Amino acid sequence: MIVVVLAILAGSFLIIGESRMIQDRFYSEESESSALSRLPVTLASLRMFSSKPIFGWGYGNFDLFDRQFYDNTVGSFTADNKDHASHNFFLTILAEQGLVGFVLYMAPLLILLARSIKNYSKLSEQGLLGRKFLVILWWIMGNLVVLNNFVSLTVVYGVGLWWITLGLIASVLNSNQFNWILQRKGVKITS
C-alpha cells in the first residue's frame, strides 16, 4: 500500500509540471503567434490552387511560389515577413499538383475504404487477416489523415507509412476475398 501511495504522489507532482507546460503551450502569446502564423501560408496554398487548379505549380515548387500569394494581413493578424513552411500536406498537394495529383493520391484511400465497408462482413472474426486487424489499420490511416492536416509529412517515413498501411489494407481485403471465393467453391480453409 505504501508503494502505491508513493507512486500516486510522485505521479501527481509529475502531472503538475506537465499541466503547466501544456497551459504555457496552449495559452501563451508565442503559441498564439505560432498558430496564427500558419494562416497566411494556408491562404497562400488555397490561392495557389485556385490559380492553377488542374495540374498545380509542380512537385516540390510550393516554397518557390508561395510568397507570391501571401497576404500579410489575415483577419486581425498581421504576419511577420518570414517564409513559413506549409503545415498541411493535403493543401500542399493541391497547390503543387492540383486536382490531378490530389485525386491520384486520395483515390486508393477512398477505394479501399469503400471496399472495406462492403467486405467487412465477409472477413474472418479472428486471425491476422481478420476484422480486428483491418480496424487497427484504419485507425492508423485515420491518424495519418489527421497528422497530414497539421504537419507536412513529406519525409520518407510519413509517405512510406501512408502507402504501407494502404498496402496492408489491400492485402487483408484481397486475401479474405480470395478465401471467401474458395469457401463458396467448397474448398476448406484452415487458419
Whether the Cβ atoms of residue 56 and residue 90 lie closer than 8 Å to each other? no
What single-letter DSSP state applies at residue 130? S
| pLDDT above 80: residue 105 | yes
Q: Which three cell numbers stand for residue 131?
A: 476484422
pTM across the whole model: 0.71
| Per-residue pLDDT at 139 | 97
| Per-residue pLDDT at 142 | 95
Q: What percent of the chain has a predicted confidence (pLDDT) above 70?
A: 75
* For range 45-74, the mean pLDDT: 83
Averaged pLDDT score across all residues of the chain: 81
Reported as a single tens digit per residue, the pLDDT across 136-186 is 999 999 999 998 888 777 677 788 899 999 999 999 888 765 565 656 666
